A and B are shown apart, each in its own frame.
With several copies, the nearest count.
Chain A
Amino acid sequence: MTMQRYAEALNSALREEMARDDTVWLFGEDVSTYGGVFKVSKGLRDEFGPERVLDTPISEQTLTAMAVTAAMTGTRPVLEIMYADFMPLTLDALVNQASIYEYIWADQVQMPFVLRTQGGGGAGAGAQHSKSLDVLVAHVPGIKVVAPATPADAKGLLKAAIRDPHPVVFLEHKLLYNSRDEVPDGDHLCEIGKARTAREGSDVSIFATSKMVHDALKAATELEADGISAEVIDLRTLRPLDNTAIVQSVKKTNHAVVVNEGWRFCGFGAELSATIMEQAFDDLDAPVERLGTFDMPIPYSEPLETSVLPDAEKIAAAARRALR
């Protein structure tokens, strides 16, 4: 085990995979000379050369479309889209291109590419640089969507994503890049599609992804003081969803809170909530509590931004409601 920041763990994952497989290449705005605005690709240009680590013009739509076809013709692109807020620009290439070809072309092609981006609020980045928008890609068949909460998972999942023969959207969080934790040494891989129990508990299950896992853990600590034992499940993968882990936890606790940092209405939390209800209806003693960012633009000013985002306090309150 080595202590690493989340950004460093991602950097190691990229480095290791680029060293292992010389068809892996990186591109995106500012990823090369500067090493990425969040420094995830730092040093890789020097190590692997400017042919394999490319700065690009500001052309998200085309870059994504290029990733799709580069992937079907012999290389493994890893594209960085600087903010998740720009995912709408990538969506035609995902929905109308990447999503369809493996099935529609009857398995004549595969598309091993990774689209990395980062989202989330809390940094005062304003309405155009703070959104999650994870559900926009999670809705698209044929695209896997992962969202690691810890440095270890960041590394293991990114390595798995790069090796995956199918398209993977890899969602990072701007407030996690500096978080430090232990990362297993060696060729550490995490299986895409498997949830992780971040904390065991028996009264209520809190399902979360990305930064919300940490808020859920804080909420669990808070709840413990009240004698409430909360289980925190880090889903890690949004698509395909680990139904088994979800049902297992709800069967144990009979109460569920789902928390996702995207907008609540038609957000990823709705899928979680519906899935729990469908698959564990008889085990539920209360309706699933669902939290998301308030259904409105994310404001800039700190007190306003704090009000609209889900956090530990709101999660704890939701858990109490679930148990009421």
Chain B
Amino acid sequence: MKNSPSLDDQLEMYRKMVLVRQLEESLGELHKQGKTRGPIHRCDGQEAVGVGATAMLSSDDYVTSTHRGHAHYVGKGLDIHKIVAEILGRETGYCKGRAGHMIVASAEHGLLGGNAIVGACIPAAVGMAQSLKLLKSDRVAMCVFGDGSAQTGICHESMNIAALWKLPVIFVLEHNEYGLTVHSDEQSAIKDLYKRAEAYGMPGKKVDGNDMLAVYESVATSVDRARRGEGPSLIEAKTYRRAGFSTSDMGGYQSEEKIALWEKKDPITIAVKKLKKLVEPTTLRDIEELAIQHVKDAVDQALADPYPTFEPHAASNPYRGVVL
């Protein structure tokens, strides 16, 4: 079926979800051991959005992301070791340790990049899409952003401009019910944010964000549309943030029942159930084991990597002619 991933693609998506899950758990562990600096924004339980939404893109399509971007990074093909090294502030990270856990970028993968200003990744994708349109390219730009970000002014301005200029943008709204500690019901009077697409004259749709295939199919249709020059779409992927806002979140405001409910709808569990109908269990187990080992090795390597040393940076106008 058009816009359905092949079996190989599905297995690769499954592999990436396992990588992300393992990455999140390892980072949580490292945080507990005091080996990370600053908070880590885990996306356990939301892997299907980032992985499913990026699987049909090629490396020269652009993706812009948020503070919670690990699944988007891995979905877009970034190397786990270089991600972890960046998060740990090492010279070997994607940005030589300068960016850190929230702003990782890899130009060669078109991932530009994580963004810790809520909402900022939305106009970022629109600007890229405008460049692509001018260059008469059929590439696309995607932003993946949260339900909290959807309330920012730039979200409105961006959707309005993208729809008006029919830019090749895909707006992927990762609705995990929380903006930091505040439930989405206290951030907007409406529950289904995809309905806002109509206010800009673009298609909007809702999808089960814990089902990687559903995400893939929905997004792929919008990507095709964008490549054909027919303009942007808004896809709202419904999921849930199980892990707390970040590793510095003291919790207490999310209900245990709700978390348990969503654990039952775990995206990896759902994927496994479907894939088991198509491949031998050992295939999945092998993928899983390799992925887990891959993350373990990456983390070990990153922990052994050197820290960068400071050098002034000409383009950023460091101190000049001044004794330091």
User: Which residues of A pack against B, CB within 8 Å?
Assistant: 23, 25, 29-30, 33-34, 37, 51-52, 54-59, 61-63, 65-75, 77, 85-86, 92-93, 96-97, 99-110, 123-129, 141-142, 165-166, 239-240, 243, 264-265, 278-279, 294-297, 299-304, 307-308, 314, 321
Residue of A nearest to B182 (CB): A55
User: Which residues of B pack against A, CB within 8 Å?
Assistant: 37-38, 62, 64, 89-90, 94-103, 105-107, 112-113, 115-120, 123-128, 130-135, 148-149, 151-154, 157-158, 160-161, 164-165, 179-182, 186-188, 253, 307-310, 312-313, 315-324
Residue of A nearest to B318 (CB): A296
Least Cβ–Cβ distance between A147 and chain B, in angstroms: 17
* Bound Cα distance A184, B233 (Å): 49
Residue of A nearest to B158 (CB): A62
Chain A to chain B contacts (Cβ below 8 Å), 8 pairs? A57-B164, A59-B157, A69-B125, A70-B130, A73-B127, A106-B98, A124-B89, A300-B99
- Contact check, A58 vs B323: say whether CB atoms are below 8 A apart: no
> Binding site of B, secondary structure by majority: helix, strand, loop or mixed?
loop
Given contacts A142-B315, A142-B317, contact A302 B307 (CB under 8 A): yes
Specify which chain A residues have a CB less than 8 angstroms from the CB of B126 in the assembled complex: 62, 65-66, 69
* Bound Cα distance A37, B249 (Å): 8
- Contact check, B98 vs A73: say whether CB atoms are below 8 A apart: no
* Bound Cα distance A302, B124 (Å): 28
- Contact check, A30 vs B180: say whether CB atoms are below 8 A apart: yes
Least Cβ–Cβ distance between B177 and chain A, in angstroms: 14
- Contact check, A69 vs B321: say whether CB atoms are below 8 A apart: no
- Contact check, A302 vs B37: say whether CB atoms are below 8 A apart: yes
* Bound Cα distance A295, B322 (Å): 11
- Contact check, A55 vs B309: say whether CB atoms are below 8 A apart: no
- Contact check, B153 vs A304: say whether CB atoms are below 8 A apart: no
- Contact check, B99 vs A69: say whether CB atoms are below 8 A apart: no
Least Cβ–Cβ distance between B129 and chain A, in angstroms: 9
- Contact check, B38 vs A124: say whether CB atoms are below 8 A apart: yes
Identify 7 new A-B residue pairs, CB closer than 8 A, beyond the known A65-B126, A100-B103.
Answer: A57-B179, A62-B161, A69-B123, A102-B313, A126-B116, A300-B99, A303-B308
